[in-house]
A and B are shown apart, each in its own frame.
Chain A
Amino acid sequence: GAGVSQSPSNKVTEKGKDVELRCDPISGHTALYWYRQSLGQGLEFLIYFQGNSAPDKSGLPSDRFSAERTGGSVSTLTIQRTQQEDSAVYLCASSRLVSRGQETQYFGPGTRLLVL
């Protein structure tokens, strides 16, 4: 009965370095989302994976951001050449498609990224 897990829980890096954030969705969930939440702000959609379909990358803010989902399960969000404005909480969510247009997303605890 494990929920969505994310690692690391906190990451401090220097400007210009690359970082990788990991998300383990709930077993059996075919959909996986990445969001970014800046301090005191709402949820900014980044990318969506659904089964074997091509991911929706429309929310990625720049080409420094990329994500992969291997084997339809674990996902990695990579930020290259990090900038201070990348500092935020990165949230992952997964869902089991209930019916078209209706689904419940279950969120992980997030990774808090601080770029110095």
Chain B
Amino acid sequence: GENVEQHPSTLSVQEGDSAVIKCTYSDSASNYFPWYKQELGKGPQLIIDIRSNVGEKKDQRIAVTLNKTAKHFSLHITETQPEDSAVYFCAATSIGGYQKVTFGTGTKLQVIP
């Protein structure tokens, strides 16, 4: 089955700096890679996703890149703000009998004002 690794597990940045979270996956058949943000006491919420036919996608301060050859994808947050502090999860879907999603172990991002 699919295996998703996520690094780093924790990340502290100064407000205004950029943050990068990296994930690798094992199943070359995976073709959809969502990123979720989980704030304290809440369920994860989708913030951006990328499909295998695209190498990069950007939404305001958030961007995701995908390298299918190397089987890794990354989340980039620019001009970080205190409200970006949360746990971020990457995920990948592996085509099988259905679309089971495998999540990374999460990155706790702290933006220091």
Interfacial residues, chain A to chain B (CB-CB below 8 A): 4, 31, 33, 41-43, 45, 48, 50, 53, 56, 91, 93, 97, 100-110
Contacts and interface: CB of A to CB of B under 8 A. Distances in A.
Contacts of A93: 43
A19 to B, nearest CB: 19
Residue among B30, B36, B94, B98 facing the most chain A CB atoms (10 A cut-off): B98
B64 to A, nearest CB: 14
B31 interface: yes
A107 B45 contact: yes
Contact count band on B? 20 to 34
Contacts of A108: 43
B46 A106 contact: yes
B95 A105 contact: no
A100 B94 CA distance: 10
A102 B49 CA distance: 10
Contacts of B49: 104
A102 B51 contact: yes
Contact of B89 (A42, A53, A56, A103): A42
A43 B51 CA distance: 22
B23 to A, nearest CB: 12
B43 A102 contact: no
6 contacts: A41-B106, A50-B98, A101-B95, A103-B32, A104-B46, A104-B49
Interface in B88-106: 89, 93-95, 97-106
Interface string B38-69: 00011111100101000000000000000000
A104 B44 contact: no
